[in-house]
Amino acid sequence: DGGITQSPKYLFRKEGQNVTLSCEQNLNHDAMYWYRQDPGQGLRLIYYSQIVNDFQKGDIAEGYSVSREKKESFPLTVTSAQKNPTAFYLCASSIAPNYGYTFGSGTRLTVV
């Protein structure tokens, strides 16, 4: 079955540590997105990519980095520069602008 796989489901980060969240899709979608979800707030866009080897900053890109070396993969790195990284992170993909997103199951990141 086609879909988006996020891993790990739970991730713990120590202060000053970089961590990478994985996002893989087998839907053959061109566009991929990373959102952050906090209680009481809507989904906020971190980064997005329309094609391989190209990506754009979203509304809250500071302290995050991404790469898009393959169509299927869009990993997100949470760097030590992100001061409040504890959140639920969602990866999504879309086949075309007229269509909505297909979401992964999310990664919950906690700073310890």
Partner 1 sequence: EDQVTQSPEALRLQEGESSSLNCSYTVSGLRGLFWYRQDPGKGPEFLFTLYSAGEEKEKERLKATLTKKESFLHITAPKPEDSATYLCAVRSFGNEKLTFGTGTRLTIIP
The DSSP letter of residue 30 is S
Q: Residue 58, interface with partner 1 (CB under 8 A)?
A: yes
- 100 binding partner 1? (CB under 8 A): yes
Q: Which stretch binds partner 1 (CB under 8 A): 14-22, 60-68, 76-84, 103-111?
A: 103-111
Per the structure block, which two tokens stand in for 79?
């760097």
With b for 16 or more beta-carbon neighbours within 10 A and e for fewer, the 64-82 pattern comes to bbbebeebbebbbebeeeb
Where along the sequence are the contacts to partner 1 (CB under 8 A)? 4, 6, 31, 33, 35, 40-43, 45, 48, 50, 56, 58, 88, 90, 92, 97-106, 108
